Structure 1
Amino acid sequence: MDIKAAGTVPSRRAPSDWFTGTVWQDPLIETPAPARLQAVIVRFEPGARTAWHAHPLGQTLHVVSGSGLVQVWGQPLREIKAGDTVWIPPGEKHWHGAGPNTTMAHIAMQEMLDGKSAEWMEKVSDTQYSGEA
């Protein structure tokens, strides 16, 4: 058993290669093999968002505060808010983030396959973010 006491794992700024705007990550767990679970609390400032990406084994998002947006490639924007849980199937190209005027925090849960939990792609343009694309 391994217990990580609250406050002992530092917050980290999300990498600008994969995110637009100010995003903070608070790692919850990355289990050792053979387990594959990875979970992190992600806090987005207004307008902040991920780049387009996909997960080899899918992803679950649980919104813990605020409201935001999520979109699957080729589909309309969807609003998400505190209490919502989103399942994104394996390989589905998508992005998620805060609304233009609101913060949003979610718990992101995914499993790693061969040590990789995501395939990162191009950034979401402002036109795509606004739903005009």
Structure 2
Amino acid sequence: MKILKLTMLLLAMGTTQAFAQGAPIFPKGEKAPNVNHVGNVWLYEVHAPDSTFNYGISVATFDPGARLNWHQHPGGQILMIMEGVGYYQEKGKPRQTIRKGDVVKCSPGVVHWHGASPESGVTYLSTTPAQNGKTVWLEKLTEQEYFGGK
């Protein structure tokens, strides 16, 4: 709960003028190398884990059709969808459509993927505890899985 409150505070810290004009609160960040995903993804680290706050906060921006490979987070992850339309799917469960304003809780150790829909990019703010280790990358997401097949 503390992580969510801090994250919401960080979101609220964006300037009123920028927010009113529809400008992004955070910069787009650096384009990520296509190692564990398909398409263009940009990452901006809002907060790196440190000795006081042992979790990271990042913004990820996906072009339409961009998506991550299957992976898991040993400590879990929370995604707060800030813009666009995307997908989230846990292994063995149906794919979910996610939209601006949605909050997705990725439970610790649960294999899943997330990314943008084919028609829309998606941007989310993520909080990830660091105490249990980094993201564990697994197999590549297939086209059939991405488009809703099994």
Given the two structures, how large is their TM-score scaled by the length of structure 2?
Answer: 0.78
* Paired position in structure 1 for 2:147: 130
Q: Which amino acid is 1:31 matched to?
A: P
Greater length-normalized contact order (CA 8 Å, ≥ 6 residues apart): 1
Q: C-alpha deviations, 1:24-54, integer Å up to 9, x for none?
A: 0111111212531101100000110111110
Q: Which amino acid is 1:88 matched to?
A: C
List 4+ stretches of structure 1 deviating above 4 A.
none
Give the % identical residues.
31
Q: Distance in 2 between matches of 1:122 and 1:34?
A: 34
Structure 2 residue 122 is matched with structure 1 residue 100? no
CA contact (8 A) 2:80 2:124 kept: yes
Give 1:10 shift: 8.1
RMSD across aligned positions (CA): 1.9
Q: 1:117 aligns with which of 134, 137, 140?
A: 134
SS of aligned partner of 1:127: helix
Q: Distance in 2 between matches of 1:10 and 1:71?
A: 24
Whose strand proportion is higher, 1 or 2?
1
Given the two structures, how large is their TM-score scaled by the length of structure 1?
Answer: 0.88
- After the TM superposition, which of the residue ranges 33-42 and 47-56 deviates more from structure 2? 33-42
Aligned length: 126
CA contact (8 A) 2:55 2:131 kept: no
Within 5 Å, give how 1:20-99 maps onto structure 2: 20-99=38-117
Whose helix proportion is higher, 1 or 2?
2
Q: Flag the 1:49–1:10 CA change in 2: closer, same or farther, 3 A.
A: closer
Q: Which amino acid is 1:70 matched to?
A: Y
Where do 5+ consecutive residues of structure 2 fail to align? 1-26
Q: Distance in 2 between matches of 1:112 and 1:52?
A: 19
